[in-house]
Structure 1
């Protein structure tokens, strides 16, 4: 039975805008109020996904969410027609309108934590949507995320869907952005590396002082239990509080793994030596720890270029490749490091650069844009085939974007009732293209 890792990229939504909502995310805050280009953003993401499919990788698409989220605005007390709700929110609480119009679901790495069947006791693939309770604009995503995932992975013989963890600070969960699975091969049980920012019930552990730690140890442990993982194939490691305070809001901004390679900055983890030794012992086989020193690449350069928010993928010929944003190519220190990396004794043999600047400027690189799901061929056959990217779907989605997306959007445009109509029309058509059913509230 063949096993592989599929990437499901978040399709950028029609309300992609720069509102600077994510405190602790330097790129998000620094581009606040700039005009965005939703059409270009969606096409940049699709082009990156299609390039991976053309490399022979299994590639799918994750639908965006309904925005502006009028239902949440109504829950917050705004009344009248949909147009009334938008206009009242714009006048009385513009920050709430921005929250409810965010296209942040594009960053599919925060959609859920996923454990493959070879790791779980029941031999099924497990999904837990992230509660994302640390940021208001993201905390409204989990229910629809669950709807979308269940429409994609509906066969209960192969897939298990859990509810998000309780929306309480003790169980703050940011999904796969703080979770990496390492293995010798995709068809062998691996070690799931859960990275947390702080422990709510352990006050002796260090905490960041400037920016919030978004993932808790308690959340990571709860997901491991829900997914029926063994102690032998889990490692819990704390993110270095000092790098969180330098803008490393998720672990995938400072570390990324694939199969038996862990690519990370030397400042990524707290108590690193002990925990990496535990990882090596549990993985049982060769482990390539590719550690980047501060002298080679500063944390500041790593954050600004998203060197570690790259994807590491295994190509059909067995070589590994890094999928990097062009920002890495444009930074002399980072480009020099990546050139040197290809000469080292690691499985990484290629680097491919992609323009995802619309996403980068809002705080997410290539790795943010995708949710990884390791599956075998039987499980893949059970996935909704209409979400899998091929030439036909790529052409249809590009035409769909051209038809429905604006090429300029500012935070002030979010109150335009016509934008809501455009978004709902687009999403209704998308659910027909991808055969997702009625996953949005406006369809019910």
Structure 2
């Protein structure tokens, strides 16, 4: 049965800002307290979505979360109406308020882990929202993410949804940013590669010393059980702790895979030669598995982090070839651009590149791959998806008009004390739920 991989890109929320909240994410820390432009950010993301649609790919839309998170501020002791809560909280702790305003749900690679029906014992597509428990601002996301996933994939005959893993650090789960899938075709059984940073319970395994390992082995193992993955469809690989300490906070900053191609840096995995041999041995496809290993001598880890070469998307085109969807930062980095040119001329399926301006997202630490959640679907499953979240020409224009109507073109720290920003944000999402037919996914509580 013919299957497609749908990229569900996150719409950047109206409170997109640079608060430097993500320790271990170099770009996020470096741009803390800069002015942000939410309108430019959402339109840049929509332009990428439209370009993928124009290539003939099926493109989906993932809604942002309601921000600020008034409910959590009330749980922390701030009382009154929503406006009063914001005023009190900003006077007491402006950093906390910015965290509750964070638009980090835009990076839907962290929304959850998805296992296609071809890989699961019950023949359903399985979803588990990531708990994102390593960062306070991201730990606010799992419940809303689960509601959104259920509103998008709302047919129990085809889709199975799981509660996010326990919030304790032992089961730190960052979703698809540490998960990729290799296989001949999207509709055939594939190899799901789970990349973890450390083990919570096995102290004998190496771990980074400077920055945290956000994905644990135990979390990845739990996802495999929840998703009823066939034993031959799962493989655990440890990320190189040394590169985590150099700012590679997720595996998708140092490796990306699609179909029968794995593009990875020479230093991506612990004991890399052994890890790559494990992948080759576990790969079950009939096509040649292309492992494109980028030498450190050609692209340093620092260049990989600053350009987000490996946070590019790899997408399969109808002609059987692949496109690298890269940020402009890759083109502007001489070493990275030279390597891309070399790669697309070599004997592998990746034969073209397209660069996109995603500066607003990149400055906050997320590239093209961070902005999308991949879901492989056969035709009956695709037909069961909420059609309002699938992009077409009219939906694109509708969302551009919506963004131009509701979004500001500049946000600074002082703006988070403005109660009008809260009202604008909530009004925008109230209208968006109608455009995307999402129902009551946002638990608004404006009154105390």
TM-score category (smaller protein): over 0.9
Q: Tell me the secondary structure at the aligned position of residue 45 of structure 1.
A: helix
How many angstroms does 1:3 deviate by? Answer: 0.6
1:124-273 alignment, distance < 5 Å: 124-273=124-273
Partner of 1:15: 15
Distance in 2, Cα, partners of 1:196 & 1:166: 17
Task: State the Cα distance separating 1:84 from its structure 2 match.
Answer: 1.1
SS state of the match for residue 43, structure 2? helix
**2:235 and 2:125 mapped to 1: Cα distance?**
19
Note the alpha carbon deviations across 1:142-189, whole angstroms, 9 max, x for none: 000000010000000000000000001110000000000101111210
Q: Distance in 2 between matches of 1:147 and 1:156?
A: 14
Contact 1:67-1:100 within 8 A present in 2 as well:
yes
Distance 1:184 1:275 in 2: 20
Q: Which of the numbers 431, 435, 438 marks the counterpart of 1:436?
A: 438
- Find the aligned partners of 1:223 and 1:412 in 2 and give their Cα distance: 41
Aligned to 2:427: 425
TM-score between the two structures when normalised by the length of structure 2 = 0.98
Alignment partner of 1:362 out of 361, 364, 368: 364
* Root mean square deviation, CA, Å: 0.9
TM-score between the two structures when normalised by the length of structure 1: 0.99
TM superposition outliers: structure 1 runs of 4+ over 4 Å:
none
Instruction: Name 2:296's counterpart in structure 1.
Output: 294
Structure 1, unpaired ranges of 5+ = none
Matching residue within 337, 340, 348 for 1:338: 340
Give distance in 2, aligned partners of 1:195 and 1:411. Answer: 36
Q: Please say if residues 82 and 445 of structure 2, whose CA atoms lie closer than 8 Å, have aligned partners that are also in contact.
A: no
Return the offset for 1:256: 0.2
Name 1:384's counterpart in structure 2.
386
1:269 to partner: Cα distance: 0.2
- Quote the offset at 1:306 in angstroms: 0.1
Q: What is the deviation of 1:265? A: 0.2
Higher mean Cα deviation, 273-282 or 292-301? Answer: 273-282
Indicate if the aligned counterparts of 1:68 and 1:414 stay in contact, CA closer than 8 A: no
**1:46 corresponds to which residue?**
46
What is the Cα deviation at residue 230 of structure 1?
A: 2.2
- Compute the displacement of 1:232 (Å): 1.4
Secondary structure at the aligned position of 1:143 is classed as helix
Unaligned runs of 5+ in 2: none
Number of residue equivalences:
444
Please say if residues 235 and 275 of structure 1, whose CA atoms lie closer than 8 Å, have aligned partners that are also in contact.
Answer: no
Partner of 2:112: 112
Q: Is the 8 A contact 1:126 1:161 kept in 2?
A: yes
C-alpha separation in 2, matches of 1:187 and 1:8: 18
State the partner residue of 2:398: 396
Once residues 364 and 412 of structure 1 are traced to their aligned partners in structure 2, the CA distance between those partners, rounded to angstroms, is 24
Native 8 Å contact 2:248 2:254 kept in 1: yes
- Structure 1: distance between partners of 2:78 and 2:153: 35
Distance 2:210 2:425 in 1: 36
**Contact 2:71–2:445 under 8 Å retained in 1:** no
User: What whole-Å deviation, never above 9, does each CA across 1:358-417 have from its counterpart, x for those lacking one?
Assistant: 000000000000000000011000000000000010000000000000000012211210
Tell me the equivalent position of 1:311.
313
**Cα deviation, residue 443, structure 1:** 7.4
Residue of structure 1 equivalent to 2:60:
60
Equivalent residue of 2:345, what SS?
coil
Query: CA offset at residue 43 of structure 1?
Result: 0.2
Secondary structure at the counterpart of residue 134 of structure 2: coil
Q: Deviations over 1:284-313 (max 9, x none)?
A: 332100000111100000000000000000
- 8 Å Cα contact 1:180-1:193 kept in structure 2: yes
1:405 is aligned to 407
